């Protein structure tokens, strides 16, 4: 079968969003399919020549790139600078300053949202023109689109509409709608979700809860639910050997974004802050590490706890290779997510990357809905401790006991408590996930 994969993010880009489509292409080609990938040229971090599938890299228009570079630098000019807070100031002028700053940040956010949308749509039109001009009707048996960003989804829709491919699988790495988006963007995304339901031959989500939420939101009929599937994210390469750090400093690491505080450290900070006050943790033997783009938000969350800043290390944004090295060098990994009425089943690709690291995991889930999918997976795979903010008091006590227990084990030169279910973890290797995709493709091609 000849398969076209439309994904703006692709290997060798170090962005986490490139991992899933890259592995699908790799393994589908190894399973005997003829694979062509259309992706963005700007995402390439180094030269890469595949041996078993074709990659077509298309850049955005130069004028758009120039404008994007200038405006993006201006928008991010204050990014990753530590925020200064003034707790004691109650003067009206200070309050007006805070209000004005919030309005300014919101305007900046919406402008950036609009600009990313425009540049992404521009890339879509440019690539779609290339596809229409270079491929004939039924050039491919199947097109697989990988959302996000939006352009990848729109390319899949166009390829199917123009009959360049017979079948279309729309893969959703992310939810199309998000609570942080503006109303107009969420309404547009809702229209795209409906189009996917009506025009695709199959839809895949990265979690059962995201699949369920999609079915509920669109009131999908039973007969249509049969084409909606769950294909989890996965990890690459072999599982690492769990090598503990040689020093007596307990290193707790989080890598990733914070989404304006939707991902929240506060439960962990509260626990550690109290344990230091109680004299059960020595500041010199504990380090909380952060690596990501949201330094401002990270410092904002630190600010509420007097003992935390002195034990934190902020690496700022690092590429994926550096992030993986940090994971190998730490003792405990943190994964953050949320679970709300409007957004469920949020399983970051970093969580599956953590599976390979073979380190204990602390998961923290914000939102009002209990028993989120991340919590269920942490417990099913026996990876560490899963805490939820809707059960704050009880999980605070559990996390407190967990942290001090692991800290004492390390202090006594003992191995940390970690007995994962590796037989289940192996099912999340991308080769296994890709085999599930292979079976789905095979079933679609056999439909009459």
Domain ranges of the chain: 2-66+120-234+430-445, 250-424
From CA 18, how far away is CA 20, in angstroms rounded? 6
Residue with tokens 């919101």: 106
Residue 429 pLDDT = 94
107-114 contacts, C-beta under 8 A, 24 or more apart: 108/75, 110/182, 111/75, 112/72, 112/75, 113/181, 113/182, 113/185
Query: Can you list the positions of beta strands (E) in 123-270?
Result: 140-147, 165-172, 202-205, 228-230, 250-255
Query: Are domains 2-66+120-234+430-445 and 250-424 of this chain identical in fold?
Result: yes
From CA 241, how far away is CA 358, in angstroms rounded? 7
Orientation of helix 92-134 relative to helix 150-161, angle to 10°: 30
Query: Can you list the positions of beta strands (E) in 261-399?
Result: 286-291, 312-316, 332-338, 361-366, 384-388
Strands in 250-255's sheet, in edge-to-edge order, are: 312-316, 286-291, 250-255, 332-338, 361-366, 384-388
Contact in structure between 140 and 166 (CB atoms under 8 Å): yes
Q: What is the DSSP letter of 331?
A: S
Residue 79 pLDDT = 47
> Which H helix or E strand runs over 3?
strand 2-6
Contact in structure between 170 and 156 (CB atoms under 8 Å): yes
* pTM listed for this prediction: 0.83
Residue 70 pLDDT = 64
Residue with tokens 């003829």: 34
* Nearest residue to 144 via CA among 6, 26, 2, 1: 6
Residue 252's beta-bridge partner residues? Answer: 288, 332
Query: Superfamily for 2-66+120-234+430-445?
Result: Glycogen Phosphorylase B; (3.40.50.2000)
Residue 448 pLDDT = 47
Residue 90 pLDDT = 53
Residue 287's beta-bridge partner residues? Answer: 251
Residue 184 pLDDT = 86
* Nearest residue to 255 via CA among 19, 45, 22, 16: 16
Residue 82 pLDDT = 45
From CA 71, how far away is CA 413, in angstroms rounded? 51
* Nearest residue to 243 via CA among 331, 182, 158: 331
From CA 32, how far away is CA 29, in angstroms rounded? 5
Residue 248 Rama label (left phi>0; alpha psi -120 to 50; beta):
alpha
Give the Å distances, CA to CA, from 259 to 187, 267, 336: 20, 17, 10
Q: 191: how many CB neighbours lie within 10 A of its CB?
A: 10
CATH number of 250-424: 3.40.50.2000
* Nearest residue to 203 via CA among 235, 165, 231: 231
Residue 51 pLDDT = 66
From CA 82, how far away is CA 107, in angstroms rounded? 21
Digits of tens for pLDDT over the chain (448 positions)?
A: 999 999 999 988 777 788 899 999 999 999 999 999 999 986 555 656 666 789 999 987 655 556 655 665 665 554 444 444 444 445 567 667 667 767 777 677 677 778 888 888 999 999 999 999 999 999 999 999 999 899 999 999 999 999 999 999 999 988 888 777 788 888 998 999 999 999 999 999 999 999 999 999 999 999 899 999 999 999 987 766 656 565 789 999 999 888 877 899 999 999 999 999 999 999 999 999 999 988 889 998 998 899 999 999 999 998 888 988 999 999 999 999 999 888 888 898 889 989 988 999 999 999 989 999 999 999 999 999 999 999 999 999 999 999 999 999 999 999 999 999 999 999 999 999 999 999 999 999 887 4
- CA angle centred on 302, ends 301 and 307, rounded to 5°: 150
């Amino acid at each position: 079968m000849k398969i076209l994969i439309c994904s703006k993010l692709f290997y060798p880009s170090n962005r986490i969003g490139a991992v899933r489509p890259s592995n699908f292409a790799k393994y589908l080609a190894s399973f005997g399919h003829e694979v062509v990938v259309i992706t963005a040229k700007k995402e390439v971090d180094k030269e890469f020549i595949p041996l078993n599938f074709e990659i077509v890299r298309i850049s955005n228009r130069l004028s758009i790139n120039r404008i994007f570079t200038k405006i993006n630098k201006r928008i991010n000019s204050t990014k990753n600078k530590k925020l200064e807070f003034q707790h004691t100031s109650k003067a009206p002028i200070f309050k007006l300053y805070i209000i004005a700053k919030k309005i300014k940040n919101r305007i900046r956010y919406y402008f950036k949202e609009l600009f990313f949308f425009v540049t992404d749509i521009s890339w879509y039109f440019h690539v779609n023109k290339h596809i229409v001009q270079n491929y004939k009707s039924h050039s491919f048996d199947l097109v697989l689109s990988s959302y996000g960003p939006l352009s990848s989804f729109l390319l899949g829709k166009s390829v199917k509409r123009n009959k360049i491919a017979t079948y279309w699988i729309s893969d959703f790495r992310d939810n199309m709608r998000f609570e942080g988006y503006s109303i107009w963007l969420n309404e547009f995304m809702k229209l795209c979700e409906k189009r996917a339901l009506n025009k695709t031959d199959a839809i895949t989500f990265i979690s059962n809860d995201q699949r369920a939420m999609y079915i509920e939101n669109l009131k999908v009929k039973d007969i249509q639910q049969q084409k909606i599937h769950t294909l989890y994210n996965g990890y690459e390469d072999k599982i690492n050997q769990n090598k503990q750090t040689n020093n007596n400093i307990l290193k707790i690491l989080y890598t990733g974004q914070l989404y304006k505080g939707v991902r929240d450290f506060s439960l962990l900070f509260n626990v550690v802050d109290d344990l230091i006050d109680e004299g059960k943790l020595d500041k010199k033997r504990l380090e909380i590490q952060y690596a990501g783009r949201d330094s401002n938000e990270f410092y904002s969350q630190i600010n509420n706890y007097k003992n935390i800043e002195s034990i934190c290390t902020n690496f700022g944004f690092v590429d994926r290779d550096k992030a993986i090295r940090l994971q190998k060098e730490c003792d405990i990994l943190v994964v953050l997510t949320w679970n709300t009425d409007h957004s469920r089943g949020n399983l970051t690709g970093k969580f599956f990357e953590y599976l390979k690291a073979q380190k204990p995991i602390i998961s923290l889930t914000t939102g009002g809905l209990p028993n989120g999918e991340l919590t269920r997976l942490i417990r099913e795979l026996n990876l560490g401790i899963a805490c939820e903010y809707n059960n704050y008091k009880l999980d605070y006590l559990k996390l407190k006991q967990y942290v001090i227990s692991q800290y004492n084990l390390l202090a006594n030169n003992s191995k940390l408590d970690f007995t994962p279910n590796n037989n289940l973890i192996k099912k999340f290797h991308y080769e296994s996930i890709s085999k599930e995709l292979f079976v789905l493709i095979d079933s679609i091609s056999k439909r009459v």
